[in-house]
Chain A
C-alpha cells in the first residue's frame, strides 16, 4: 500500500506522543507532589505570605477622680512592624529599615537588633512601638514593602505627676504594673480581639476581616479629688524643698468612709515619662515606707490606759527630771517639763510622763491594743504591695520594749497605718479601713457620715482622746497646725532614725510628722504628714505642723468652708459648684 507520508512518520508520531505523555506525566507527578505530598507545607507557606493575623488591643478603661476629671486614659496610636520577605536578600531588607531610622530616631543598636532578627528568619519584627502621629504619616507616605502598622492604645496621664505614685503605670503592652493600674488591671484591661489581614504579592494589605471583636475595659472612679490632691502634693513639695528633706508624704482622708482624698509622695515623677525617674522615686511611700512613728503613736498607750482604767484623769506625773532610766536605756524629753497631769503629758508630748504611764498598763493589753489599731498587718487598702509593718510579738519583747513602744519606737509602721489608727479616734472608736475607690455603700441618700467597722475602743475613750488631741493643737506641741474657723485634733511626732553605720538611734536624722483631723467633734478630713530627715528644724511641730495648717486651710477654702456635720460626699460631689470660685478652681 502506497502511503502519501514518508516511511518513518508513524514512528515519529509515536515518539512525539510518548514525549508528550512523558511531559504530561512529569507535570502530573509534580502537581501531585505539590498538591498532595507537600500540600500542608506549601499551604502554610502561602498562608504565611498572604495572610497575617493581628491582635486588636482592647481600649483600657479610663481612670477618673471623684469629680470626673481624667487621671489616666488610653488614646489610639500606631506601632510599626516589619514582615520580612522570604525572597529578598538581607541587604535589601536592611536598606528598608535604614530608611526608617531618621523618622523613628532608631539607634544603631536597635537597627542591629532588627537586622539580626531578619537573619534569623523571624516572621514578625517590631520596629518601634507607639510612635508619634507625624512619624506614622511620614512612614505611610513612603509605602515601603513589608512595613506595616498596628493600631494600639497609648496610656496618657493628662495631669502628669499628679498622684503619680497612687495611679501607677502600665508596661509597653498596656498591663498595669504599679498603683491602681496594677490593682485594678483586670477591670481596666478588657479583652483583646483578633483580625485577619489579607496581603497581596507585595505583602500589602488589601482586605481585613474581624475574627473576634475586642471588649473594652471598664472605667474606674477613684476617691481622690484632683484639687485636694494638687493642694496636698504642691504644699508637700514646697516643704520638702524648703527643709531639704529626703522625702515626704501626705495622706488626706475622710475618716468615716475611709476614702482617701489625696495621697502623695515627694519627690514625685511624671507618669508620661516614668523611665526617666529612678525606681526609688516611684515608691508610694505612704504605703511602702516603714518608719518609727514616734510620738504620734502615743495615742495607743493612752487609749490602753484609759480603756483599762489604771489611770485617773487628774493623776499627775513628775516630768521634771532630765531623764528616766528603763533597764539600760535612758529616755529624755525634748525640753524640761514640770509635774504634768495625764492629759498634759499627752498635750506636751512628754516621753518621761508617757513611760510612767506605760509602766502602769499591762503589757498584754498594750500589745492587744496595738494589734486592734491595725498595726502589724496591712490596712487592706486597694493598692498593691502594701507593707504590713513590723510589730514584735509579745513573747519576743525585751525587758524595756514596753517603754520604747510607749513613745513610738521598736515598731515600724507605714504613714497609712498611723492615719488609720488616728481615724479610729476620729470615728468614735471604730476602725474603718482606708480605700482609694469611693464608698458606694451609702451612695446618694441618706446624707450622713456614720462610720461602720470594728470597734477598737469605746466611744468615751475616743471622745476623751479627741479632747486631748484638741489641746495639743490649742496649747501644746501642735500649735503651728491651728487655723481659723475649725477646732483641730492633732498630734505631733518626732522620731530619731537608726544610723546604719552605728546601729544606734541618730541624733542628726529624724522623721517629723503631724497627724490631725477636723472639725474635731464632727471630723470631715483627717491628714497625716511625714517628712524624712528635714535639715535645720526637725521637730514635727516646726516642720510637719505648719504644712498641715497650709494644706488644710487651702483645702477648706476649696471645699467652701464646710460646716460641721456635712458628709464628704455632700460637700465634694453635690455642692461642688458652690466652691468653684475658690482659690484652687
Chain B
C-alpha cells in the first residue's frame, strides 16, 4: 500500500514561488534580449542615418562652395546687378584704429 507523503503547504508555495521567479527572470531575460536586439537595430539604423546626414552635409558644403565661388559671384554681380570694379579715384582708404571699447 502506497503511503502518500504529505507535502507541506509552505514547501508548495516556495516551489511555486521559485518556479514563478524563474519564469519571471526568464521572461525578463527574453524581454531584455529582444529589447537589446531591437535597440541594436535602432542604433544601427540611426548610425546609418547619421552617416547619411553627414554625407548630406558634406554634399551641401560642396554645393555652398560652388554657389559662393568667386567666378560665379563676379559673373552675377556683373551680369545681373550691373556692378563694375571701382576706378582708382573712386576708392577711399580709411586707416583702421584700434577701438578699446570694442570687444
A70 touches B61 (CB 8 A): yes
B85 touches A158 (CB 8 A): no
The answer to whether the Cβ of A230 comes within 8 Å of any Cβ in the partner chain is: yes
* Distance A234 CA – B72 CA, assembled complex (angstroms): 12
Distance of A557 from chain B, by nearest CB (Å)? 8
* Distance A160 CA – B66 CA, assembled complex (angstroms): 8
* Distance A162 CA – B69 CA, assembled complex (angstroms): 9
A162 touches B59 (CB 8 A): no
A69 touches B71 (CB 8 A): no
Distance of B36 from chain A, by nearest CB (Å)? 19
* Distance A584 CA – B85 CA, assembled complex (angstroms): 10
Return chain B residues, CB-CB under 8 Å to A73. Answer: 58, 61-62, 65
Contact A584 to B55, CB < 8 A, known contacts A69-B65, A73-B62, A158-B65: no
Contact A159 to B69, CB < 8 A, known contacts A76-B55, A578-B96, A583-B85: yes
* Distance A62 CA – B62 CA, assembled complex (angstroms): 10
The answer to whether the Cβ of A574 comes within 8 Å of any Cβ in the partner chain is: no
Distance of B6 from chain A, by nearest CB (Å)? 59
| Selected contact of A159 from candidates B58, B61, B66, B74, CB within 8 Å | B66
The answer to whether the Cβ of A75 comes within 8 Å of any Cβ in the partner chain is: yes
Return chain A residues, CB-CB under 8 Å to B59. Answer: 75-76
Distance of B76 from chain A, by nearest CB (Å)? 14
For chain A, the count of residues having a C-beta within 8 Å of the partner chain is: 20
Chain A window 557-585, contacts with chain B (Cβ cutoff 8 Å), 1 for yes, 0 for no: 00001000000000000000010000110
* Distance A62 CA – B69 CA, assembled complex (angstroms): 17
B71 touches A158 (CB 8 A): no
Chain A window 49-73, contacts with chain B (Cβ cutoff 8 Å), 1 for yes, 0 for no: 0000000000000100000011001
* Distance A161 CA – B70 CA, assembled complex (angstroms): 11
Chain B window 37-68, contacts with chain A (Cβ cutoff 8 Å), 1 for yes, 0 for no: 00000000000000000010011011101100
Distance of B89 from chain A, by nearest CB (Å)? 12
B70 touches A75 (CB 8 A): no
A158 touches B69 (CB 8 A): yes
A158 touches B58 (CB 8 A): no
Chain A window 136-174, contacts with chain B (Cβ cutoff 8 Å), 1 for yes, 0 for no: 000000000000000000001011111000000000000
Return chain B residues, CB-CB under 8 Å to A161. Answer: 71
* Distance A162 CA – B85 CA, assembled complex (angstroms): 21
* Distance A543 CA – B85 CA, assembled complex (angstroms): 21
Q: In the complex, what residue of chain B is closest to A153 when comparing beta carbons?
A: B55
Contact A227 to B70, CB < 8 A, known contacts A73-B61, A75-B62: yes
Residue of B65, B66, B93 with highest tally of chain A CB at under 10 A: B65
B65 touches A561 (CB 8 A): no
Return chain B residues, CB-CB under 8 Å to A158. Answer: 62-63, 65-66, 69
Contact A160 to B71, CB < 8 A, known contacts A75-B58, A75-B59, A561-B93: yes
Distance of B99 from chain A, by nearest CB (Å)? 13
Q: In the complex, what residue of chain B is closest to A62 when comparing beta carbons?
A: B58
* Distance A234 CA – B59 CA, assembled complex (angstroms): 27
Return chain B residues, CB-CB under 8 Å to A561. Answer: 93
* Distance A156 CA – B65 CA, assembled complex (angstroms): 11
* Distance A293 CA – B69 CA, assembled complex (angstroms): 34
Return chain B residues, CB-CB under 8 Å to A70. Answer: 61-62, 65
With A70-B62, A583-B86 given, name 15 new contacts (CB 8 A).
Answer: A62-B58, A69-B65, A70-B61, A73-B58, A73-B61, A75-B62, A158-B65, A159-B71, A160-B69, A161-B71, A226-B70, A230-B70, A234-B74, A561-B93, A584-B70
Spell out B's residues near A (CB within 8 Å): 55, 58-59, 61-63, 65-66, 69-71, 74, 85-86, 93, 96
